[in-house]
Structure 1
């Protein structure tokens, strides 16, 4: 036997298999089948951590997923360290190493407990208002300079690991006829009925063992078998019938069309994880019908100092006793508003725990529990209340009084080391609510229960408001049979049922004490008191969602499991409304915390964010290129020579390209083939300009709008033949443009005979730009006349280069004579090498994306997504001439006539000539004066800014209100060192006549 509080017999732990573990550096021993919580209780450990805000001593409140206090960090090694685990769900294994959280230097002596003394300053919403002033430095506050850093360092609970997660995670999609969530009595009965009817059945439960509360019922029988034996027989039959059984699996999210997400723990309970074995698995299940059997959570009572270690839910104490064979204390006071607590008191008394008193808050309770307690000689006080507790690191006594309306009469202190409370049970309706089912308020029992489901779903057992073993089994059986389409379920013979048990209370117990001097906790995890909720109401919060956020009650991982109904009742009382009038907060996914690894699965590193490299990547790297991330692509940023930084390298690349030539890897451009007899008409409807008269062998710059009329993408389109176009898009816009095309082709223009194919990966692109570009390309090309007359600007030809097929574009994004060489990706490296050798021989250069950006800005060429912001029209960019309003229609045409898109004062693209040598910051605001008064609105912003080696000055492009009309006007750009003056000019800084382009 392990632990001084372990019973010699009883429970479901294996005393013959002791397990050693450490907690906060101290060695303990538990049993196979223990949780960390039950093992610590067996060793007499009640203080397990400190609370979030006040750092008050905290112990175990519950025994399952609803536990708000007992959070720990479990460490297998430096990388495998996981914080904020509920000790009630951590399965014990040999060598487990766990530590408490939110305390320093130790949980028994925590300096952070000073917060409890400062609690008058740390009430609800203190972070919104307490430290917001006064301003003592221009633009700063006490909050920003002093308090905020301290608060941020103190915030949170556990410390996340700093190493990369070394574990593996799995993902599985599954379909079934019936999914049952919850493996208690109702869930087992539902799954069994469905499987017997031949339905494909999945049954999941969050526990290591299925059976739920049946595992805590040693005296109950089902169909003539002890409850635990019936569970084992049912699971065996389900396995024989092919049902999928998923223990350690939490149903955490219920989505549309009966899509339910399950998180399965696979190896966390093992002392040694097999190499390569997944730690957790995400099940994404689509079910014809779902049966929710998620049970109910016992409600705490709200009274002063109800958070001391040793204050526990009554049902949790019975679970520790009857499932784990642990006495959670030696002398217990039971305070209840529900009959179930009597069962706990009787069970503890039989196990040798002294019952100091049972205090029933109800004035006239009746039922077999009360009679049995009195028959067993247990002291019972009816119509009583508890007005506080005593003790430091563990409860040592409780102040019991006779309730009298709004307060409490004189109290007596009852010694105890365990205070058990029961305010009734709250159905776990989280998943039902997530499914968009409508909850209904039952006025008789004061509970929210599942109402009309929104999907093919049924709720059974305690989560549906039913009480008692027989009712749970029969409801589950009927629901399982109905879900499988086999009619009525069967009835079960049960002994040891407690169907008559009921009662409950909502809100705070009357205590008659000064609320400013005591704390009655509603939300244990977030340190929210009854006073906090009343304060929120006094400060004007009427919506329960606003009260929730202001006080943080029911937020974070708790999601209202233990706090929700009490907080609603207190808010309703303060507002003078009924609970239905106050409403209910939203239950969000996940029901319990789920690791990032489970969501990510195998999608990590390159599988999470794939790295795309062009076929020329390795050659660029060999030439010393530095790379930048552009979307998923690695693109050569610049090619530094010895001693050069970014700016020096870019300046050299620009000058060499404009003087001789440069080659650039443009393979990342999106490329789409549009093919079919209606291809030209299709493009006519997608782009602003006309395409039907574009001759084969010619190119056109295309501008694409979205439905609201804003610029979405641009690119050069080459016509290869009467029925074939080669469309280029921006690097980042390729997927979006293809999706846009597919969407309109399928939904708006289905009569057009057009086929769309992404060929981005098929064709590599090498841009050769500069005065000597023709001299570089011509000797390598076969079958194409490169003369200016035969191959003018904005033309496309097909032939061969270096002996391989090519689509050769005569286009330029630099303002120089230019060619874009498209070759099959497999041959790109060889073609690049040949072009590079000729470029280098002439004194040219390879250039990267930064030089490309500089040269295109010098020519005033826009980049969609940089010169546009999602509200930019063609006319704003000075491209109004590209809009063929004479066409019958194109996407976005009607929107261009909206009054706000043609109104005066819109921001227009202009150039900025900067005085001095300071390069502006992209995104910087533009103002009409150097020192505008407070409240002056900006008249524009900088979209692109570079040092121009060609001009020898800084240049910038900007969107400015009435920009074209402001030409010649001086504007100002506030910068960290002071406002910079700039003169509004046209956006073209280099070769405005285009002579170099047409060379």
Structure 2
């Protein structure tokens, strides 16, 4: 006899019967059931098959600690893969199927693999399939890997709600500890948010009830009412999945199948972790048989769902409260044998159906074994926040030690199990008083015995890691816990080692002759439990993942008839005056060369570096030497990756010894900011270097062309423009606000960038347009600017460079030979690859008179043995209005040493001829830039 319902016990609504199918058979449950509780109540024992050997697997735990009962679900025409049966609420009409089994979990033909288990120990695939060639076996192995299947039947018409919230006290866990803490904090006047991952609050209150005559449900309701009356908030079915930098906590509310989850990102002042503890398995022969469950699971299924998991139950446990669980099961009608597994190794009898257990030479008939080698506190969130752990010999587990002062761990998560001690600890945490001493608790060790080699003893149920696998890892010197984890996949299943880690650590400690704390622990990483993919999808897609940035002057551009387009994430004017792009761009190029272009340069990234070590910092992050840049001077330079590749180009201005202003590409501003911040934290004292992105604080009007000086002079920003040389910076004022003026050119003509706070941007733009009109100057958009840059051979990073471009490929080779100070990417510039003669280099291309412009992306080719080989490709190509001929830029293998040589261009089946030229096609002497 297996599981069945008992009377009216549980938190179910028995007036609502739900029908569902599992592996083709119809079953029934009640409102409030999980898939696992409904199947157990119907007598089902085998829920799925293990990953490697396809061994039959039943339920081990009753909630997120269960590694076995993974199922695929279809409901409402939508497929939900790899759901935990113990956590998935039952829905009427759902179709449930076991995973990793064919045709069913009960009769899985792939179960024959278990007969070959001796040939498939941990890591066998690293060795067995190396000969003759791994790639012969890879497709088959990849097809067999993983559990569950993906389907095209997914629901893609909803998204998770992403909310940003704050509270003074976040309490994680709605059991006795969490309820007590939340009530005390709310009554103390704090804004409180209490969350629990179950649909019902109460935690262990139901399976280990207190002495209240009204029962645990009444006590739980009383606490919730008091919390809400005091202004606190409560959220059920809500899980804290991770703790991140700056006290950020991410929580997900799972509202069930067919409904989008809600993601909340909180920054609470204080966090109280009351996540409880889970049972550790007892390691004995055949301990993976269906019907072997945790002690707490047996009590939980009875208390929450009214399911008695067996008629003849054997309890193997070292916990002092095992007698209480035995008494509850006996009161429910089960025959219970409370056995001492410490006296002699145990062995489960039976295969698909558990028939008994042998302990100390005696066989006890049973259909269920409830096992517990002690409780493991759920310290994952504590570790996410940087908290430390200590090994507690009495509790035989790791417990929280020192950690952040804004987080307190209480109750089972702290290794505190006695009810009065739990409530004292909770009130102390809520009121932030001194922490009470952890109450005395001691159990006898019940750890894996590596000298007992009878049968197979499972450590990780889902991934089929046995005690012998741990021993094999030890023999092969995989003795680090991280190596053990990766070599055997122990702790890498869906439960992330919640049930297996302590047993695995204990086995390795026994093999090494060390204590468990000497072996250490693996890394605890978010998310705490598997999270629906919809929670990650959320609203962060399309324009919401990278919102379009808008210029302060956008209304002015629209008033001038600008055609707006996206450039580097900004909505910018492409050209002005009509729908004919070609004519408009040509006209604007002529305006820029003959008079002056008036452009909105506000989209360029503006990042300030401030602090005592600012000069050393900018010298380190730039390829060019910046250590000798004087106040008031500007220098062009490159930022490189660690691989020596061009990351961004732009100019940097020195304001004074402790302040520099970096101007970077508009599309790279966010990436450059992250790049700078990374190196600030990695290689400098963060207290001596500060980085601020001020891009959206200033607006810039750029005036470039032969008449630029006269127009800027009319604006009255500076007292005089005399001796204002190219690549210098001055500060002045525009009307009543501060302004800065930079002599920087992106067109090759005399140019002034006037920057003012956004509040003055419209007035500055209107004054500039008015001052330019008598000189023939006018607004110029991004498309004309691209042509003007190409005429001068000025690169656009990401367009005229590729993923292998280094600065010397662009003709900037001096710093790598002369700069003695260390900088980002310096070593990579001297590798064999960096010094290849056939590297793609930046050059210009010209075509014969009367020929059309070259297609962008066309390949420069050579023919060898009758086959074409690419030497590079065209990166930019334009009809130059200024030169009245086509121009092109390209990356060509060995191009800088091939000036004047003819090359063959191949594109879309057609071949043309061109000549390699210097990249600069206009004003090659640079005479116009200081005009």
Residue pair 1:706, 1:712 contacting (<8 A) in 2 also: yes
Structure 1 distance, partners of 2:171, 2:594, is 72
Residues 560-610 of structure 1: CA distance to partner in whole angstroms, max 9, x if unpaired? 211011111111222232212211222222322334554666544423221
Structure 1 distance, partners of 2:808, 2:267, is 45
Q: Is residue 211 of structure 2 the alignment partner of residue 221 of structure 1?
A: yes
C-alpha deviation, 1:550, in angstroms: 1.9
Q: Is residue 249 of structure 2 the alignment partner of residue 261 of structure 1?
A: yes
Residue pair 1:66, 1:562 contacting (<8 A) in 2 also: yes
Match of 1:547 in 2: 484
Structure 2 distance, partners of 1:320, 1:233, is 24
Residues 166-217 of structure 1: CA distance to partner in whole angstroms, max 9, x if unpaired? 44343322223xx433222233333444445555544332222222222124
Residue pair 1:689, 1:882 contacting (<8 A) in 2 also: no
Match of 1:63 in 2: 62
**Structure 2 counterpart of 1:861, from 783, 789, 794:** 794
**Structure 2 counterpart of 1:189, from 169, 180, 187:** 180
C-alpha deviation, 1:320, in angstroms: 1.0
Q: Which runs of 5+ in 1 are unaligned?
A: 364-382, 404-408, 493-498, 675-680, 695-699, 720-724, 798-805, 835-845, 886-891, 925-929, 932-940, 976-981
From the superposition, tell whether residues 29 and 673 of structure 1 become closer, same or farther in structure 2 (CA, over 3 Å): closer
Structure 2 distance, partners of 1:738, 1:748, is 17
Q: Is residue 730 of structure 2 the alignment partner of residue 730 of structure 1?
A: no
Structure 2 distance, partners of 1:749, 1:311, is 59
SS of the residue aligned with 1:67?
coil
Q: Is residue 192 of structure 2 the alignment partner of residue 212 of structure 1?
A: no
Residue pair 1:35, 1:87 contacting (<8 A) in 2 also: yes
Moved more, 868-877 or 598-607: 868-877
TM-score by length of 2: 0.72
**Structure 2 counterpart of 1:351, from 332, 348, 364:** 332
Residue pair 1:300, 1:313 contacting (<8 A) in 2 also: yes
C-alpha deviation, 1:555, in angstroms: 2.4
Q: Is residue 524 of structure 2 the alignment partner of residue 535 of structure 1?
A: no
Match of 1:362 in 2: 342
**Structure 2 counterpart of 1:397, from 338, 342, 354:** 354
Residue pair 2:846, 2:886 contacting (<8 A) in 1 also: no
**Structure 2 counterpart of 1:303, from 284, 299, 310:** 284
Counterparts in 2 of 1:457-472, with a 5 A limit?
457-467=407-417, 471-472=418-419
C-alpha deviation, 1:514, in angstroms: 5.6
Structure 2 distance, partners of 1:830, 1:111, is 79
Residues 921-979 of structure 1: CA distance to partner in whole angstroms, max 9, x if unpaired? 9999xxxxx99xxxxxxxxx98985678889898645899xx98x78899x9xx9xxxx
TM-score by length of 1: 0.67
Residue pair 2:71, 2:84 contacting (<8 A) in 1 also: yes
Residue pair 2:21, 2:94 contacting (<8 A) in 1 also: yes
Q: Is residue 197 of structure 2 the alignment partner of residue 233 of structure 1?
A: no
Structure 1 distance, partners of 2:181, 2:309, is 34
SS of the residue aligned with 2:482?
helix
**Structure 2 counterpart of 1:878, from 790, 805, 812:** 812
Residue pair 2:602, 2:698 contacting (<8 A) in 1 also: no
Residue pair 1:867, 1:958 contacting (<8 A) in 2 also: no
Match of 2:53 in 1: 54
Residues 672-730 of structure 1: CA distance to partner in whole angstroms, max 9, x if unpaired? 699xxxxxx9xx99977868678xxxxx76448799999964149899xxxxx999642
SS of the residue aligned with 1:449?
strand
Structure 2 distance, partners of 1:425, 1:629, is 57
Residue pair 1:263, 1:598 contacting (<8 A) in 2 also: no
Q: Is residue 111 of structure 2 the alignment partner of residue 175 of structure 1?
A: no
Moved more, 205-214 or 227-236: 227-236
Counterparts in 2 of 1:378-397, with a 5 A limit?
383=344, 385-386=346-347, 389-391=350-352, 396-397=353-354
Moved more, 758-767 or 195-204: 758-767
**Structure 1 counterpart of 2:498, from 554, 561, 566:** 561
**Structure 2 counterpart of 1:285, from 268, 278, 283:** 268
Structure 1 distance, partners of 2:511, 2:301, is 37
Q: Is residue 423 of structure 2 the alignment partner of residue 476 of structure 1?
A: yes
Residue pair 1:300, 1:423 contacting (<8 A) in 2 also: yes
Structure 1 distance, partners of 2:547, 2:69, is 39
Match of 1:992 in 2: 924
From the superposition, tell whether residues 609 and 301 of structure 1 become closer, same or farther in structure 2 (CA, over 3 Å): same
Q: Is residue 81 of structure 2 the alignment partner of residue 83 of structure 1?
A: yes
Q: Is residue 241 of structure 2 the alignment partner of residue 252 of structure 1?
A: yes
Q: Is residue 646 of structure 2 the alignment partner of residue 714 of structure 1?
A: no
Structure 1 distance, partners of 2:275, 2:532, is 21
From the superposition, tell whether residues 299 and 666 of structure 1 become closer, same or farther in structure 2 (CA, over 3 Å): same
Q: Is residue 507 of structure 2 the alignment partner of residue 507 of structure 1?
A: no
Q: Is residue 393 of structure 2 the alignment partner of residue 443 of structure 1?
A: yes
Structure 2 distance, partners of 1:502, 1:150, is 45
Structure 2 distance, partners of 1:500, 1:902, is 61
From the superposition, tell whether residues 901 and 399 of structure 1 become closer, same or farther in structure 2 (CA, over 3 Å): closer
SS of the residue aligned with 1:285?
coil
Residue pair 2:394, 2:441 contacting (<8 A) in 1 also: no
Structure 2 distance, partners of 1:268, 1:236, is 22
Residue pair 1:337, 1:360 contacting (<8 A) in 2 also: yes
Structure 1 distance, partners of 2:574, 2:348, is 70
Structure 2 distance, partners of 1:264, 1:170, is 10
Residue pair 1:263, 1:594 contacting (<8 A) in 2 also: no
From the superposition, tell whether residues 166 and 96 of structure 1 become closer, same or farther in structure 2 (CA, over 3 Å): farther
Structure 2 distance, partners of 1:735, 1:882, is 27
Residue pair 1:307, 1:521 contacting (<8 A) in 2 also: yes
Match of 1:328 in 2: 309
Match of 1:606 in 2: 543
Residue pair 1:689, 1:703 contacting (<8 A) in 2 also: no
Match of 2:736 in 1: none
Match of 1:936 in 2: none
Structure 1 distance, partners of 2:468, 2:391, is 25
